[in-house]
Amino acid sequence: MLRQALAYIEEHQARFVQELLEFLSIPSVSAQPEHARDVHMAAFWLAEQLRHIGLRSEVLRTGGHPLVYAEWRGQDLHAPTVLIYGHYDVQPPEPMEQWHTPPFAPELREGYIYARGASDNKGQHFAHVKAVEALLRTQGTLPVNIKFLIEGEEEIGSPSLGAFIAANADLLRCDCVLISDSAMRAPDQPTLVYGLRGLISMEVTVRCLERDVHSGHYGGLVQNPIFVLAQMLAQVKDAEGRVRIPGFYEDVRVLDDEERAALARVPYTEADLMRETGARCAFGEPEFSLVERRGARPTFEVNGIWGGYTGPGTKTVIPAEAHAKITCRLVPYQDPHKVAQRVAEYLRSITPPGATLEVRVHEGGSPAVLLERDHPAVRAAVRAATDTYHAEPIFELEGGSIPVVAHFRDQLRAPVVLLGFGLPDDNIHAPNERFSLQAYQRGIEASARFLLEMSACCAGRGA
């Protein structure tokens, strides 16, 4: 079964690339209202592709951009069901002048497809579509039941998806959710992500005066809120980057030796960090490795600070207030609400006399997600990846967040497998986004292998 599918993938590779180029030429930018029609077009284009290869597919309306849903069900009542999630919307392409070729005129160059959305996420989920096609065309059947749920709002925070999943848990019922929307550490190093950080965000305002005043008349006589805010923020971390807020690390999950050893396999060095960011050296809690800090330690970051006069020339003013935007990345077991409270309480406790502090915690904080590493579906992914890339996958904790993962796990009570086909230098969200042809082809192969492995290892729940 596998041999025929792999031969089909090989034989049809050129067409698979052409089809992806066509998909990429639709500017489905979800954030920009002028592209609303293009977003719809992309949904219908994808639904038609899924129908063409033999799935029942439809474009479902939401309050925002539509969802593409497709499924294939076999006769075998015990066959497991795999739900594949992805997103067909893309980030805005700006700044345009930095693209070497136009973002929606996809181009093949030196083994890469250059286009907005190539890696994030059209190329990655389309690889699964092509794997399903290869299996269906060569066998006339699939080893598992398949459901595709491809949304059009991921890049704007998936506002419709949580409610859709909650209202359609029966439709979406499955034995495993497969998501390819992350990166491999290297082209030959398959990577399974098993944790994602959560997030809280807030805005703080320090006020010392009722109005801006003359810095000559009042300088040296009253407090300057920019100074007060800077001094407060400076107290939050020690010189090595540890957060000093009491209780900040209280619920943080402690890594055991086994997990630390597994994370030590992730090939990531200070040199990588410096190359990627332009930083002159690494900074942060020295008792944890870079990989541990990214995935298993919470952060306190100031994202912006403003106040007073910042226009051209000089203005001799003492401003009345100063502001900062703050976000904290959270790790497993931390409660977003509790952390926000701890941060607010601490800032309040160090606000000096003569200053008032206002803390506004933004809605929509999300907890971190920790996924199983030894579920049969994860083991199926390990085998599929090992056979495809001829290397055992590493397990990694991701520093960012994919809020939808928690929805799938909690609402569908199914294990989530995060097996990405992208690479760290794919320039996602940046000019000259790309996806390597090799990554695309291997992604299709890994997907076909995974579906076959799933049928061998996981009995269905009667989805």
Name the segment binding Zn ion (CB under 5 A); options: 33-41, 114-122, 250-258, 322-330. 114-122
Q: State in angstroms the smallest separation of the CB of 439 from Zn ion.
A: 16
433 near Zn ion, rule: CB under 5 A: no
Q: State in angstroms the smallest separation of the CB of 435 from Zn ion.
A: 13
Residue 29 or 326 with smaller CB distance to Zn ion: 29
Q: State in angstroms the smallest separation of the CB of 198 from Zn ion.
A: 18
Burial of 428 (0-12, 13-18, 19+ CB in 10 A): buried
Burial of 457 (0-12, 13-18, 19+ CB in 10 A): middle
Residue 184 or 226 with smaller CB distance to Zn ion: 184
Residue spans of alpha helices (H) in 307-402: 336-349, 376-389
398 near Zn ion, rule: CB under 5 A: no
Q: Which position among 120, 133, 151, 396 is part of the footprint of Zn ion (CB under 5 A)?
A: 120
User: How far, in Å, CA of 16 to CA of 105, rounded?
Assistant: 17
Burial of 363 (0-12, 13-18, 19+ CB in 10 A): exposed
Helix (H, G, I), strand (E, B) or coil at 338: helix
User: What totals of helices (H) and strands (E) does the chain contain, helices first?
Assistant: 14, 18
User: How far, in Å, CA of 178 to CA of 400, rounded?
Assistant: 18
The token pair that represents 85 in the structure block: 């999630």
Nearest residue to Zn ion on Cβ basis: 120
453 near Zn ion, rule: CB under 5 A: no
Q: State in angstroms the smallest separation of the CB of 336 from Zn ion.
A: 22
Residue 181 or 292 with smaller CB distance to Zn ion: 181
For residues 45, 46, 51, 55, the Cα torsion angle rounded to the nearest 10 degrees is -170
Q: State in angstroms the smallest separation of the CB of 138 from Zn ion.
A: 33
426 near Zn ion, rule: CB under 5 A: no
Q: State in angstroms the smallest separation of the CB of 180 from Zn ion.
A: 13
Residue 66 or 86 with smaller CB distance to Zn ion: 86
Q: What are phi and psi of 154, to 5 degrees?
A: -65, -40
Residue 150 or 380 with smaller CB distance to Zn ion: 150
Residue 117 or 393 with smaller CB distance to Zn ion: 117
Residue 120 or 453 with smaller CB distance to Zn ion: 120
User: How far, in Å, CA of 364 to CA of 170, rounded?
Assistant: 26
**Contact between 339 and 251 (Cβ < 8 Å):** no
Q: State in angstroms the smallest separation of the CB of 199 from Zn ion.
A: 15
Q: State in angstroms the smallest separation of the CB of 119 from Zn ion.
A: 9
153 near Zn ion, rule: CB under 5 A: no
Helix-helix angle 123-139:437-457, to 10 degrees: 60
396 near Zn ion, rule: CB under 5 A: no
Number of Cα atoms under 13 Å in the Cβ half of residue 146: 29
Name the segment binding Zn ion (CB under 5 A); options: 34-42, 116-124, 166-174, 200-208. 116-124
175 near Zn ion, rule: CB under 5 A: no
Residue 120 or 445 with smaller CB distance to Zn ion: 120
Name the segment binding Zn ion (CB under 5 A); options: 113-121, 163-171, 346-354, 447-455. 113-121
Q: State in angstroms the smallest separation of the CB of 282 from Zn ion.
A: 26
Pairing mode, strands 176-179 and 321-330: unpaired
Name the segment binding Zn ion (CB under 5 A); options: 98-106, 118-126, 344-352, 455-463. 118-126
151 near Zn ion, rule: CB under 5 A: no
Residue 191 or 388 with smaller CB distance to Zn ion: 191
Backbone Cα Rg of the chain = 25
Q: State in angstroms the smallest separation of the CB of 124 from Zn ion.
A: 10
Calculate the alpha carbon distances from 227 to 234, 259, 343, 383 in Å.
Answer: 10, 43, 19, 57
Residue count at the site for Zn ion (CB under 5 A)?
A: 1
Which residues contact Zn ion (rule: CB under 5 A)?
120
